Structure formats: structure tokens, C-alpha cells
Chains A and B, each alone.
Chain A
């Protein structure tokens, strides 16, 4: 490969900075989550819940493992936080058997900042929260039921629930959390006794309910046994085991608890073995949730990004081998996670946001592996693996860091999703999204290369060259904020953006900072946008100078496919680095172009045969089309301009941003019919 490619200061700054920022942010979130939490008690550590791993609970129209059930329910209460470092299963049973322990314990997660701040104001006024405690509560976002049942807080919540647009939903979440924490709800929802004769249309029964009823009735269990559909002596055994478990739990006798758990689990499983869900499936489901839905695989992807980047830039064969090996491991782990999810839920995982994000990234990995194999002897090698590693890392990192937004609970899919066309449509669309991500990575590499050429060429001033990437970063941050402020979801307020905090740290008063913050955002947005527009206009004149575009128009994929010994292709000769990046971008873009369009058409086919309405101008549809329009513009601009690589890279990145806008803003803020994926 011609053209100098070596690691430069800017790479270290940009990529190193990005990776360090990601890692630091993750560590900060982790620290926040565990701050103030004590280590699990001795009892919690001594209790062994493994017998429950193969016990099924019927809830929300599914038969799920106890661990999965506990994860879903404790998530309703404490969101992504764990309580006292306990496992979710332990917390569930502990709240059930010893509710008194939790009334003053910080257990209820309040995600909404506005609501949290107002509750803390009231609590501070009443002296229930010391001013010193406030900050810790604000970062941890956990409040105790005692705080939340305070009279003044109740009346605050009542008034907040009148605001349907901004605060009604978070208040409802708090009330749900408080309601679910009650032992009768936790116990009643723990339906572990299979319906009689394996009937699927009857609810399973809760042993907790049975024991409660048995204690109020006479010693005769037979009417209850009949109602539940269990033989009397078996029910007797279950009641004894449950009561024993409850007593042992309340007196913190871990040995007894473990014994009773084993007894209970085997007794429940033997009630109607023929109708009971497969033990292996339940065990996998438990395992999957104990492994935190395997979202930590992003770290493995991160490990592969570094050697792959070195392999791309410095062409070191060792780095390539190492990078591909780690990438392969990460991909296998992700495949395992997708596969387990598929196996335990009995359906392909693409039904909610969590699944759409992770499965999309996985599709990107599949494509990257295929392309890497095809391109193994061409100059484009490593680029697809690198792109996919970055995309998967970002996707898994986002689900890892935002478990409250991208909920990994396994649920039934809504009736509309039971359709083959919709399956194909959503899969093709999310696949194309991953491919658009891959193209954006190589497009960024192209721009970096162009930037380096200008730096070395010495035509532009160094200051100006340093300003451009900074402006790009600033535009992305502030553009996002300006968009949110314009679209005004849930009362997003620039005065409360993080700029206010930064200004405060710079010594301004809180009020001044709040006043200044919007101006800072708008100012930065304006300045960075101006710089970039100027650069774009200026780039037009530079087309003649930069001779990176001999590749031509749309021949890259076929050049790639024809990289056998007989083919006459420049990719094997000595293309410049920019040409290689441009070619790789085109390889993925052309795939994305067809997949996105075909995906939109398939969605229309589904909508037509499902509603007699192929196109409804739903925001999600419109923005999928908008993304496609950007690529249409790209194809025609590429046809006409001389500096093809540059404009392709710019538009590929803009297309990627449109796609992300669709996925984030449209989904979470301007949601339409497609809010499930």
C-alpha cells in the first residue's frame, strides 16, 4: 500500500481518548451503582439458590426460570441497581420473607431526574435527608419506601402525576415499585405450582397464596389441593417445605434454608413432570441472567479494536492475527448470547430495543466475517473486522451502560410481530443498520487519512486542521442538545444540561450558569457548524489536489470479489490508503443501500397485508426513507463530483447519523407504531 500510514498523535488522541472516555464512563456508572451499598450479609452469601435454577415461574404469559423472574421483578423496584450486593434472587426472597428489612432501606430506583430532585427537595425541607446525603442519593437514584411514603412526598407525587407529559410516568413507576415490594405481591406472583393436567390456558398457582389460605382455614388441605390441582399429600409436603423455608429464612439459618430450597425445588418439579418446562432451558435462562445478559462482551470487542486498528494503520501481520483472534472470540461470545436468548425464549431475538441493538450488532459481525474471508488477500483486509468490532462494541456498551433504558428482560412479543414478513423486514432493516455503522467506521478512517495528507502537505494551517475534528465533535454533542431542545421531549431544558455544571465548576453562580448554558450550547453549535461548512466548501477546491480517486465509481465490490490471481485489479497492486478506505466504504454502503431499500419495501409488504396500508407516514418509516434518501444523494453526488472519496465519506457519516436519529430520537421521543424495535 502506498501512502504513509502510521500511528500519529491524532490517532492516539482521538481513539485513545474515546476508549478512555468510554471506559472511565463505564467505571463511573459502576461506581455510582455500587456506592453506598454494603457487601452482602453473611446469610446472603451462605444461601445457595442453585436448586431454584431449574424451577419455573409462570408470569406475564411465559414460563421463565426463577432467576429470570426475580431479575424482572427486582428491576421494576430497583432498576439497574443491586441492593446490598445481593443477587436478585436473594433480594426477591428476602423482600418476601423479611419485608421489614427493606422499609428503611434504599431500594426504589427513581430514574427521572426532575422527579428525583423534587422529592429530595421535599425530604430536605423536612429534615428527612441531611444536605450531605443528598448528593449520594442523587447519583445513586435510590430512595427508601419510608421516604417515599412520607405525607409530603405523597402529596408531591400526587401533583406530579397530573403532568401527563413529563412526570406522570415516573410517578407511576415509583408506585409500581412500592406495590411490587409488598410480600403479598411478590408471593402471589411467584406462581410455581403448575396448572392441573398441564393446562396452558389456566394460570399456575402460587405456593405463598396456598400457605396463606391454609393458615386461615382448618387443617384440611383437600379443598385447596383440589383448587390447585395437586394431590393432598404432595401439597402437604410443599406447604411444610415452604413454611420451613420461611422460618429458616427469618431466623437466618442458611443450612436449613438450603435444605428446604432443595426439597421445595424437587417437590415442585415432580408435581407434573410431563408438563414441566425443560430443566436445561430453565438452567440456561438462569445462567444467562446471572451473567448479566452477557452485555460485558463489549470489553472483549474493545480489546480487539486496538490490535485491529494497529493492523489497519501499520499493517502488522502480528496485530492482524491477534486482533482477528480476539474479534473471533468476542463474536463467538456474542453468538452464544444471541443463541441462548433464542433458545430460552423460543423466538429469534428481535422484538424489543435491547434485542434490536444486540442482534443488529451480531448481524454486522456475520457480514464482517464473510467480507474478511473474501477480502483476505486484498488491501481491504482487517477493515471490516475493525468496523464490526467498533459497531458491536458501541452497541453492547450502550446496553451495558443503560440497562434501565434498554431492558434485557425476556418477554412475549406482541401479536403483531408473529409474522414471517415482519420477521424478515425487521431483520433486514437492523442488519442494514449495522452495515451502515460499518461504512461509517471506514468513512471516518478515510477522513482521518485525508486530514493527515493535508497536515503533511502543509497547505492548510495546523491550527485550522486541529480545529476541524474538534468542531466535528462539538457539533455532534451540541447538535444533539439543540435537537432535543427543539423537539422538547419531556421538557428537556438546555439550562440543565451538563454545560451548566461545567460553568459552575468554572466559578459561575448556579443561576448564571443556568442562564449561560443555552448560549454556550447554541454558540458552540453555531461556531462548529460554521467551521465545518467552511471546510466543506473549501474541500471542493481541494479536489484537484488530492489524487485519491482513481478507483472510480462503483467497482469496488466487484474488484473485491474478483481478487483472484487472474483478476486485473488495482487493489492487489498498490492502492493508496485513502483508496482502500473509500473502496471498503463502498463495499459496505452498496450492501446497506440495497438492504435498507429492500427492508423498507418488505415492511410495506407486511403493513399492506396486515392493515391494507403499505405506507402510513409513521415517523419511523419516514426516517428510514430519509436515511435512504441520504444514500441516494450519495450515489448521485459520487457520480458527479471529482473528489469522490471525500464526499462519499461525508455523506456516509451523515447517513449514519440520520439512522441513529431514527433509532434514538424517533424511538424514544417521537415514538410511533414501531416503538418496539
Chain B
């Protein structure tokens, strides 16, 4: 780029540039002038072309770091944006630019009125750089989740008050003089409308606690934040206790109140730490993990994980520096693996000690994707799949195969022991008359029945299937419905015909009329596989005639079930054993917004000569207990490790934390919606408002409000709105139980701002004031009748040295 200047870094004195390079003749300070003379380094830094070159380097460096994140995320770098822009080459580059600016300005630009602009700009940039060093050098920021309330529990016989953080479905038990209480947070409502009192019409935060006392029936207690006088009990099915018993509280010994739940820490962004504590202890001991990777997989063996894509092997071994307060002398922790995006997965393999037959099938529909199915013969809930279409059994010998019914119908059995009546009825459309159909009398008894409906393979809980029949029964005195499950011991009677949620018996109170026994055998699957102990696989298909079969089949054989449907048994394990390992999620299935939410480390714990390995999933916050967890938003997954001598410790993989200048509590948290209210869409949110209070020398400060664009400051840190607890869709008033505050310091921003303002002022001067000054001078000199040449020379001399 040196096209108009001779090389300037040569030691020999350079000739004066005749075409407009800066001219030392104009400089009042002789020492500062010569660019060839003196130190070659000084000469180099006096060169504007060096500045141009450095600026181009800066452009390239920041383009690569910003537009090509994969580059700085490569194994060698493993850098966040912040780290890339604070890596030493960047610092050196910026420092060189600053030196260049300083030297050029001082040596080459005479400080005169016309050059005030460029001096100001350059001074501004240097001040900005100095401010940045201070700012970025001390920068720390992170997040602090602050929960709204803590439920304090007091009762006679308790040594200290108990309690739990207010989040729906949280539960705790407390031992009191009267016995064991179980308390569950039933619901919270931040939109509760006060109906009486001086604040009638205002909205308050209501918490409903379900209380299961040692004796007597369960009741609910409703508490209002800020209005302890309105605390009252509600008896299920009867209404407010004051209406039923004349007293507001059912149990006056049990005292519940809502307290602040102060937060003392914030967790530092983009950091890693391990937390350790004894099982049962409250406080975590933090162990920072410097030097941890961030974006790439580090495993020493492919056996440690499940993976779909080729995984490069790259071992890591990071010794964890356990502090003395962890009291873990003699124990060593090593991080020996890291996965940036993985989930724990269970897969089966042969090699268990007990029989556990497992069959894997692939159903293939023409044109569709194969649908994999996994069946476990000895697990009642995983025996069947595809809505009961396919079933897997384990039979001791070939003879038992005959029992596989060729008739797949369902059967209803009715017996009246007193009359010695036993009936087995095949369930057909005719038998199923519905709940207003005709009754069928059972001969020789006082009973009549009708089959209302059957439900097969109902998923009553995740992975738990049941079949049931609704059978209406009638005697001379009454009519009722019996719900008959395939597992007969779970059958029960309803008080009348049909199901009414208000009168249906609770799970613990279910009974059947013993005079009549009804059983239900659901239809067996149309497709039955049976494994024999010798590893052979038998299949029976009661399908359309042309496709029906009953025979032994091979693994991998495609069995045609219908014109377009085939099933392929892909593997059979007789002693299947579950293997749980992290599954490395393929790149294409990683959510870009997930951050490090799905990262994991492998922790090797050596204690007394034994080493055990644990995969620990990342938990963003080191909460005191699992009661603070919010699945999907901030998971919390500590693991327990048994050490030598039976000592049990909990370990948690999270990030570093810093103590806040003072504990902070969330007094109030409010959502402000656009017209029409909040609908679950972010477009309808107008703002959030958190009222914070800080524990300042023994008392809470007055509430300080934080909302978007309006942070608050306390003790050198700024607190701003970062994340929140949204209401469940369609349930205004739910959620809103915590806010996540962003916390950060901002040292030196005023210095940076001053630098910026100076540079802007300098630009305006250099661009718009200086040319006018010069034009005026020219006009004046022209008026003095000086020769045109003189003017031109002045122009030449003054121009190049100033912007």
C-alpha cells in the first residue's frame, strides 16, 4: 500500500516527500518532525499507512469472529464472542492502533486551531480505549433468579419453622407435635381480586396450599401476599370454612405465612463450575472449572456415548481443584469428558442376569417411514404396542404356543358366587348396548347387566396401558356402573349410572359390591410374537385370510400383514439389559436457542482407590434444593456419589456464582399486556415490572422497580429484566412466581462515553468548521493581495497533516 511514500521503516533518513506528505518544516518542535531520523520504531508508528493497515486487520479479525462463529468455536479456540474479542491478538491489535494514533498525533499533527478536530477525535478514541480497558477488564455479568415468596410453616412441636418456595406442585412434610403434615402448593394466582377490605377491587397475589393434616380430611388454605388477615381455609366440597364451621381456619395450630425468598447470588454468564456438598447439607461449595471447552465433544472412547454421526475422539482430563472447605481430602475429581449438546438415553443390549425378552420391530407402510416398536414380554405395560395391535409373549416351550388364540375377541365374565352362576360372554357389537340400552337379566339371580362400552389399551399413565369395560348393573334397589379393568383388582363401583367427577370415589376409597364379580379379558392382539428360551421366534397374525399366518419366523424377515403393510422383527434379546449413556444429538437437531442447556460433563471421582464415573447434566443455577427447579426452563439435576467409607456427597454441574452486594427479594412482579390482555404470544406483552428490595444493614430498602429499559442500580451492580415465569396459556394469573434478573457491573462507562462525545464533536469540527476557517483565511489572504502560489503552498502544507 506504500504507493506515495517511500518505505518509512528504514533507518536511513528519507527524503522529504515532495507531493504532500507531512512536512516537518512547518512543525514548531524540531525534535518531533523528522520521520526518518531517530528511532525506526517511532518512525514506523508515525506512519498513517500503518494505521490503515492495522484498521484493515481489525476489520478482518472482527469479521471472522462475528460472521463465522464456527471458526472461533473450533477445537483450538473454543471461544465465545466475548472471549474472541478479548484474546491477546485482539488486545495487541488495539494497543498498536492506540500507540499509532498517539505517536502520529503528537509527532505529525501540529496543535493549531485548524487541527483541533483531529486532535479531539484522536483524543476521544484514546479515552474510549482507556475506558474500555477498565470496563472490559472488570466486566462481570450474570443472572439471578428471584422467587416471589417462601411459605413459612409454624406449628407447635417444631424446633424451627419449616417451609418451601412457592411454586405450584411443590410439596413438603413437617413433623409437629400433632403428627405429620403434608403441604402442597396447589396454585398461585397473581390476578386475585380482593372482594372486601379497604383495598377491595385491587389485585393481589394469592397462594393456595393443600394441607393434609395428621388426622381429619384434607383442606386448602388460601393466603394473600400483603394481607395476612385474609388467610382462610376452604373445605373441599363444602366451601369456605367460615361458612361451615364459623371459624376462618380449620386448623388454628398450623400457622402459614408468606415471606420473601431472598437471593444472595448471581450466576456468571459463560462460566463453568462444579458444586459439591454432603447429602443433607444446605450450602453448596463452589469449585470453578477454568479451561473447560464449550462447543465441541471431548470423549476418550466412543463407548461412552451413543452417537449417530462420526465422533472425533479427543480426550480431556481436567483436574478439579477441590477447596479445603469441601472437606474432600483423599478424594480427587477429574472432568474427563464434555458434550455440548446431549441427552441421556436408554438402549438395550444382551447380557442381563435374568430373562428379559425384548423384541424390536419395524412397521413399514408403503411410502412411509419405518416405525420402530420395542416390546418387553415380561413388563405388563410394555408388552403391547400400536394401540394393542401387536403383542409380545415369552413362552416356556413349544406347547404353550398352542395357547396363542386364533380367536382374538374380548370376553366379559360375570359370576354371582351366591347363586353359583358363571358366565363367559364374547364381546360383540350386539353385546355392547350403550348406557341407555336394554338390560339383560342374569338368570337365577337378582342382577341384570348391560355393557355400556369398552376402552382398550388406554394409556392411563405414560407407558402404562389398561383396558376397561363400563358395565351397568341393576338390582331391585339400585342401579350403578362398575368400571371393570383387565387387572380385576383395580375395578370399582360408581355411586350411580355414569361417571360424575364430583361423586366418583377417590382412588383410595374405591370398592366393589362383593355380591357380583365381573371380569374383562381384552381382545388379544391381532399380531402376536412369542419368544422361546432357545431364541426362536414364533408369530401369529389373525389378519385378512390371504395374509394370516402362524409360524416360526426369522429375525430380519419381512412379514406381510396387509397389501401395503409389512412388519420386520429386527432384533430379539432374551436377557436384555438397559444401558444408559448420553446420546450426542446430531447437529441438525440442535436448537440454536438452547445455549448450553443440554451440555454435560463426565466426572471421574476417585476415592479410596476406586474410581467411578458420572455424567452430569448442566444446571444453570446452583439452587438449594430441587424445589426450585423448573423443568424445561431451569433444570436442576444434582447427582449423588457414594465415597469411600459410606459418605455421600451431591455434585452439580453449573456455572460460577458471585455474591450479590446484598440479598435481593422480589416484592411484586407484574405483567403489563397490550389491549386484549396476554394471550401467550410475545406480541401481546407490553412490559414487565419487578419491584425489588435489597437487604440493607438489617432492613429491606424501599421497593425499586425494574422493567424493560429501566434497570435499577444497587451496590455497584445494575439489575435488569432478563427472563420471567410466563402464565400458562389461557390461565391469566398463573405463573409469575419468579423473575430472572440480569446482573452486571459497568465500570468506566462514563469514561467511554466522554471519549465518544469528544470524537463526535471532533468530527463535526474537522468536517464542517475547519474548512470554513480555512476558506476565510484564504479569502483574507487573497484580499491582502498575496500571490496565488503562496496560498497553494499553505494549502499543501496544512492539509495533509489534519483531517
Query: Chain A residues in contact with chain B, CB under 8 A?
Result: 58-63, 122, 125-126, 151-152, 155-156, 158-159, 162-166, 191, 195, 200-204, 411-412, 414-416, 418-419, 422, 486-487, 540, 543, 552-555, 557-559, 562, 567-568, 590, 593-594, 597-598, 601, 604-606, 608-619, 622-623, 625-626, 629-630, 632-633, 635-637, 639-642, 661, 665-666, 670
Report the bound CA distance from A147 to B365 in whole Å: 18
Contact between B720 and A611, CB atoms less than 8 A apart = yes
Contact between A636 and B20, CB atoms less than 8 A apart = no
Which chain B residues border A640 with CB–CB below 8 Å?
Answer: 4-5, 21, 48-49, 52, 800
**10 interchain residue pairs of minimum CB distance:** A61-B674, A612-B718, A61-B684, A558-B771, A622-B66, A415-B708, A152-B367, A612-B744, A419-B709, A601-B756
Contact between B48 and A636, CB atoms less than 8 A apart = yes
Report if A568-B778 is in contact (Cβ < 8 Å); known contacts: A614-B749, A622-B62.
Answer: yes
A-B contact pairs, 20 of them (CB 8 A): A60-B684, A61-B684, A151-B367, A158-B369, A201-B676, A414-B682, A543-B3, A558-B772, A562-B775, A590-B767, A594-B763, A597-B759, A606-B709, A610-B711, A611-B711, A611-B744, A612-B711, A632-B55, A635-B803, A640-B48
Within 8 A of A (CB), among B62-110: 62-63, 65-69, 81-82, 84-85
Which chain B residues border A597 with CB–CB below 8 Å?
Answer: 756, 759-760, 763
Contact between B65 and A637, CB atoms less than 8 A apart = no
Which chain A residues border B63 with CB–CB below 8 Å?
Answer: 622-623, 626
Residue in A closest to B56 when the chains form the complex, CB atoms: A633
Which chain B residues border A616 with CB–CB below 8 Å?
Answer: 81-82
> Which among A60, A411, A610 is the interface contact of B708 at CB below 8 angstroms?
A610
- Smallest beta-carbon distance B538→chain A, Å: 30
Confirm or deny: B677 has a beta carbon within 8 angstroms of a beta carbon on chain A. Answer: yes
Contact between B685 and A415, CB atoms less than 8 A apart = yes
Residue in B closest to A415 when the chains form the complex, CB atoms: B708
Which chain A residues border B5 with CB–CB below 8 Å?
Answer: 640
Question: Which residue of B58, B683, B707, B710 has the most chain A CB atoms within 10 A of its CB atom?
Answer: B683
> Which among A151, A604, A613, A632 is the interface contact of B368 at CB below 8 angstroms?
A151
Contact between A558 and B62, CB atoms less than 8 A apart = no
Report the bound CA distance from A560 to B587 in whole Å: 57
Which chain A residues border B81 with CB–CB below 8 Å?
Answer: 616-619
Confirm or deny: B745 has a beta carbon within 8 angstroms of a beta carbon on chain A. Answer: yes
Report the bound CA distance from A543 to B19 in whole Å: 12
Contact between A636 and B51, CB atoms less than 8 A apart = yes
Contact between B66 and A623, CB atoms less than 8 A apart = yes
Would you give the 0/1 interface string for B360-380, flagging 1 where the beta carbon is closer than 8 Å to chain A? 000001011100000000000
Contact between A612 and B687, CB atoms less than 8 A apart = no
Would you give the 0/1 interface string for B560-577, flagging 1 where the beta carbon is closer than 8 Å to chain A? 000000000000000000
Which chain B residues border A159 with CB–CB below 8 Å?
Answer: 369
Confirm or deny: B141 has a beta carbon within 8 angstroms of a beta carbon on chain A. Answer: yes
Report the bound CA distance from A555 to B802 in whole Å: 12
Within 8 A of A (CB), among B365-406: 365, 367-369
> Which among B66, B591, B710, B778 is the interface contact of A617 at CB below 8 angstroms?
B66
Residue in B closest to A669 when the chains form the complex, CB atoms: B67
Contact between B778 and A625, CB atoms less than 8 A apart = no
> Which among B3, B66, B685, B687 is the interface contact of A641 at CB below 8 angstroms?
B3
Contact between A562 and B772, CB atoms less than 8 A apart = yes
Report the bound CA distance from A555 to B803 in whole Å: 10
Report the bound CA distance from A195 to B67 in whole Å: 48
Query: Chain B residues in contact with chain A, CB under 8 A?
Result: 3-5, 19-21, 48-49, 51-52, 55-56, 58-59, 62-63, 65-69, 81-82, 84-85, 132, 135, 141, 365, 367-369, 587-592, 673-677, 679, 681-688, 707-711, 717-718, 720, 742, 744-746, 749, 752-753, 756-757, 759-760, 763-764, 766-768, 770-772, 774-775, 778-779, 782, 795, 799-800, 803
Which chain A residues border B709 with CB–CB below 8 Å?
Answer: 415-416, 418-419, 422, 606, 609-610
Report if A553-B799 is in contact (Cβ < 8 Å); known contacts: A63-B675, A617-B81.
Answer: yes
Contact between B367 and A637, CB atoms less than 8 A apart = no
Contact between B587 and A617, CB atoms less than 8 A apart = no
Report the bound CA distance from A606 to B686 in whole Å: 18
Contact between B749 and A639, CB atoms less than 8 A apart = no
Contact between A557 and B771, CB atoms less than 8 A apart = yes
Residue in A closest to B687 when the chains form the complex, CB atoms: A415
Report the bound CA distance from A231 to B177 in whole Å: 58
- Smallest beta-carbon distance B318→chain A, Å: 26
- Smallest beta-carbon distance B211→chain A, Å: 33
Which chain A residues border B757 with CB–CB below 8 Å?
Answer: 601
Contact between B367 and A418, CB atoms less than 8 A apart = no
Which chain B residues border A594 with CB–CB below 8 Å?
Answer: 760, 763-764, 767
Contact between A164 and B590, CB atoms less than 8 A apart = yes
Contact between A614 and B752, CB atoms less than 8 A apart = yes
Residue in B closest to A486 when the chains form the complex, CB atoms: B68
Report the bound CA distance from A155 to B718 in whole Å: 50
Contact between A626 and B674, CB atoms less than 8 A apart = no
Which chain B residues border A618 with CB–CB below 8 Å?
Answer: 81
Contact between A611 and B742, CB atoms less than 8 A apart = yes
Which chain B residues border A608 with CB–CB below 8 Å?
Answer: 746, 749
Contact between A641 and B590, CB atoms less than 8 A apart = no
Question: Which residue of B676, B688, B756 has the most chain A CB atoms within 10 A of its CB atom?
Answer: B676
Report the bound CA distance from A126 to B588 in whole Å: 28
Contact between A613 and B141, CB atoms less than 8 A apart = yes
Report if A151-B673 is in contact (Cβ < 8 Å); known contacts: A540-B3, A554-B771, A670-B69.
Answer: no
Report if A202-B589 is in contact (Cβ < 8 Å); known contacts: A487-B67, A612-B711, A639-B48.
Answer: no
Report the bound CA distance from A202 to B711 in whole Å: 29
- Smallest beta-carbon distance A574→chain B, Å: 17
Report the bound CA distance from A273 to B55 in whole Å: 63
Contact between B82 and A617, CB atoms less than 8 A apart = yes
Contact between A412 and B55, CB atoms less than 8 A apart = no
> Which among B141, B590, B675, B749 is the interface contact of A200 at CB below 8 angstroms?
B675
Which chain B residues border A557 with CB–CB below 8 Å?
Answer: 767-768, 771
Residue in B closest to A605 when the chains form the complex, CB atoms: B753
Which chain B residues border A203 with CB–CB below 8 Å?
Answer: 676-677, 679
Contact between A166 and B588, CB atoms less than 8 A apart = yes
Which chain B residues border A630 with CB–CB below 8 Å?
Answer: 59
Report the bound CA distance from A615 to B760 in whole Å: 18
Report the bound CA distance from A558 to B68 in whole Å: 41
Report if A642-B679 is in contact (Cβ < 8 Å); known contacts: A155-B369, A633-B55.
Answer: no
Contact between B69 and A61, CB atoms less than 8 A apart = no
Which chain A residues border B588 with CB–CB below 8 Å?
Answer: 162-166
Contact between A629 and B59, CB atoms less than 8 A apart = yes
- Smallest beta-carbon distance B280→chain A, Å: 38
Report if A165-B718 is in contact (Cβ < 8 Å); known contacts: A419-B709, A608-B749, A665-B67.
Answer: no
Contact between A62 and B62, CB atoms less than 8 A apart = no
Contact between A612 and B720, CB atoms less than 8 A apart = yes
Which chain B residues border A622 with CB–CB below 8 Å?
Answer: 62-63, 65-66
Which chain A residues border B677 with CB–CB below 8 Å?
Answer: 201-203
Which chain B residues border A58 with CB–CB below 8 Å?
Answer: 675-676
Contact between A412 and B683, CB atoms less than 8 A apart = yes
Which chain A residues border B590 with CB–CB below 8 Å?
Answer: 164-165
Report if A568-B782 is in contact (Cβ < 8 Å); known contacts: A60-B681, A203-B677.
Answer: yes
- Smallest beta-carbon distance A396→chain B, Å: 26
Report if A164-B764 is in contact (Cβ < 8 Å); known contacts: A608-B749, A665-B67.
Answer: no
Contact between A554 and B744, CB atoms less than 8 A apart = no
Residue in A closest to B85 when the chains form the complex, CB atoms: A617
Residue in A closest to B117 when the chains form the complex, CB atoms: A554
- Smallest beta-carbon distance A196→chain B, Å: 13
> Which among A61, A422, A670 is the interface contact of B673 at CB below 8 angstroms?
A61
Which chain B residues border A202 with CB–CB below 8 Å?
Answer: 676-677
- Smallest beta-carbon distance B744→chain A, Å: 4
Residue in B closest to A553 when the chains form the complex, CB atoms: B799
Residue in A closest to B82 when the chains form the complex, CB atoms: A617
Report if A418-B55 is in contact (Cβ < 8 Å); known contacts: A165-B592, A558-B775, A666-B67.
Answer: no
- Smallest beta-carbon distance B158→chain A, Å: 42
Report the bound CA distance from A124 to B687 in whole Å: 50
Residue in B closest to A593 when the chains form the complex, CB atoms: B763
